[in-house]
Structure formats: C-alpha cells, structure tokens
Amino acid sequence: MADAEPQSKRQRAKAKVRKLADLPVRFVSGVVMIAIVSAALWLGSWWWIGLVVLLAGITLWEWNRLVKGFQTSPPAEVAWTFFGAIYVTAASLALMQIRISYGPWEVLLVFLAPVIAVDVGAYFMGRAVGGPKIAPSISPSKTWAGLFGGALAASAVGIGLELADFGPAASEGFAWLNVATAIVAGVVIAVLAQTGDFFESWMKRRAGVKDSSNLIPGHGGVFDRADGFLAVFFVLFVVAVVPGLLG
C-alpha cells in the first residue's frame, strides 16, 4: 500500500503534465472549430446545412466505432446503429431548422449559447466547489456542484437575453414570466446536456476507449464535443420540430 500511493500520485502528476502540454494544441483546435462553425452559421443556407450534414456523418461514424467496441451480438449492434442514426439525424434536423427559422445571432445566443454555458459553468463550479460525484463509475469528474453551475450559467444566459429584450420573445417586452421560463429552461438544458455527456461517456467506457476518435487534435472526436448538443437538440426536435411537421 505504501508503494501504491506514491505511484498513484506520480500518475496524477504525469496526467496533469500531459494536459498542460496539450493546452496549446487544444486552444488552436478550439479556435479553428469556432471559426468554421461561426462562418457557416453566419452564411446560413447550404453552408450551414452542409456543415451540419458533415458533422452528423462524422458523429455517426464515431458512434458505430464505439458500438463495434461493445462486442455485442449482431442484432444488438444493428439496433444500436439504428438508434444512433435516429438520434443524430433528429438532432441535426433541429439544428438545420433553427437556422432556417432564425438569424445567426438568434441561433447563437438563444439556442447555442445556453448549451455552451452549461459546459463552462459546470467546469468552473465543479473545479471550485467539488463535492459529491453524480455517477463516478461513468464520469468521475462530474459533480452535483458542476450540474448546478451549468444550470446557473444557462439560466443566466436566458435571463440576460430577456433583460436585453432579445430573441423570439423580444416583441413581447420584458416579463417576469419569461425570466422564470429562462430559469426553468436553463435547468432543463443543463440536465439534458449533462445526460448527453454521461451517455457518451458510458458508451466510451463500454467500448474501452478514451475518446470517440482522434480527429480533432487535443479534443478527441466530434462526438466528444457534440454530446451535449445532440441530447438537447434531439429533445428540441421531438418537442418542437415533430409537431410542426405533423401539423
């Protein structure tokens, strides 16, 4: 036991060094990703649709790579593949539809910013507070404090938009009901985004891999970066896009 503890400390120290060494690569990759998404979002039309289709195709490829690592039965593998196609396609259609219906700033601030805020808020609150883990066997770094921080950050984005009288409800003016709705929406978005994160982490653990792929230097795969967005926009598709298509 005396040897095991120092070894564990050395492993943690090496992991921290590797993370610090990856920071420049992660930063450059992040800037490139933001630039590509921002350009396609601003241009809209087929540029946005083309980017969403490309990312969806890569995500499905990574999904199927993970499923193959499950080493499950052929019928189960087909079922997983079929579910992945539905899950990713539905979220992608929702992403396409919001850009068709709204301008780039509305899409960015109303639909994308809250999900991004969840990651940021969860990271900083989790690091600052720590505390009990949500599901340590699936994702050891996720804490209840982080979930609260994510919900707080997403709600803050919604409240800020309401105070600025910006977004689809802007013509209605300021209303406390809209503030309350923003808070509820922030909590829901945080739970959905974290659920998507946990789901992908569970898939990776079952497949025995650290990342869905190594396509993005310092970040892993597209699925690693899009897991929370997929969950949120899949639900958005079910509750908003499907009724519109049926109507």
- Per-residue pLDDT tens digits for 179-191: 888 889 999 999 9
The C-alpha atoms of residue 186 and residue 195 are separated, in whole angstroms, by: 14
Angle, alpha carbons 189-177-173 (nearest 5°): 105
pLDDT of residue 131: 87
Q: Based on the structure, what is the number of domains in the chain?
A: 1
pLDDT tens figures, 12-25: 555 555 555 567 78
Which tokens in the block code for residue 74? Answer: 């052929």
The pLDDT, as a whole number, for residue 2 is 45
| Domain span holding position 215 | 4-246
The pLDDT, as a whole number, for residue 46 is 95
CB atoms within 10 A of CB 175: 11
What's the pLDDT score for residue 17?
53
Instruction: Say whether 1 sits in a helix, a strand or coil.
Output: coil
Residue 15, CA atoms < 13 Å, CB-side half-sphere: 6
Residue with token string 């650290």: 210
Conformational region of residue 170, where left means phi above 0, alpha means psi within -120 to 50, and beta covers everything else: alpha
Taking 50 as the pLDDT cut, the residues of the chain under it are 1-2, 4-5, 7
Among 119, 143, 146, 133, residue whose Cα is nearest residue 232: 119
Q: Output the pLDDT for position 176.
A: 61
Q: Name 94's Cβ contacts closer than 8 Å, sequence gap at least 6.
A: 233, 234, 236, 237, 240, 241
